């Protein structure tokens, strides 16, 4: 149970997004707001495409489960972690839209948790599941972008 809680990127994302939202409650519509919304929309689109690929290939999207298919096309051809990239872009966009410099803090915390703790565990699982095919993919495609 604790392992599943620790490996809960959507939880970290939701907490970070909530903090950014609260910090930016008084933000007014301006250029920063519009740019932030655009960046968030790009992140949302990346997430949508990545999730559709999981559904199409009938494999798990749950971080602590082992996927049955190695995703390597579409958004996975430029990022090994497009869902986390999309989440990060949504948070960055929210931070920019909030026009509150302090809202960069939850973005940084989210990035560190995902990059240093979650992704390495997932990569070990991928190496166990897909062996050489994953190692070759890992050499060609960067972790983020």
Residue 45 domain boundaries: 16-60+67-140
Name the domain count of the chain.
Answer: 1
Low-confidence ranges of the chain (pLDDT < 70): 1-7, 25-27
Within-domain flag for 77: yes
- Write out the H or E segment, with its range, that includes residue 63: none
Within-domain flag for 48: yes
Distance CA 95, CA 105 (A): 9
Report phi then psi at 9, rounded to 5.
-50, -40
- Give the pTM: 0.88
Distance of CA 25 to the CA centre of its chain: 24
pLDDT for the residue 65: 80
Within-domain flag for 145: no
pLDDT tens-digit readout, 34-55: 899 899 999 999 999 999 999 9
Distance CA 95, CA 117 (A): 23
Percent of the chain with pLDDT over 70: 92
Within-domain flag for 125: yes
Within-domain flag for 124: yes
């Amino acid at each position: 149970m604790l392992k599943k809680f620790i490996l809960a990127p959507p939880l970290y994302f939701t907490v970070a997004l909530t903090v950014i939202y609260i910090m930016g409650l008084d933000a007014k519509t301006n250029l920063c707001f519009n740019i932030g919304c655009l960046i968030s929309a790009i992140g949302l689109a990346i997430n949508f495409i990545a999730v559709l690929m999981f559904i199409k290939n009938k494999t798990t999207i749950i971080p602590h489960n082992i996927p049955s298919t190695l995703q390597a096309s579409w958004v996975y051809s430029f990022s090994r972690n497009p869902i986390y990239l999309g989440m990060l872009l949504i948070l960055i966009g929210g931070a920019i839209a909030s026009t509150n410099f302090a809202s960069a803090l939850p973005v940084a915390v989210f990035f560190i948790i995902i990059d240093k703790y979650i992704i390495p565990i997932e990569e070990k699982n991928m190496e166990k599941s897909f062996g050489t095919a994953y190692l070759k993919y890992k050499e060609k495609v960067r972790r983020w972008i």
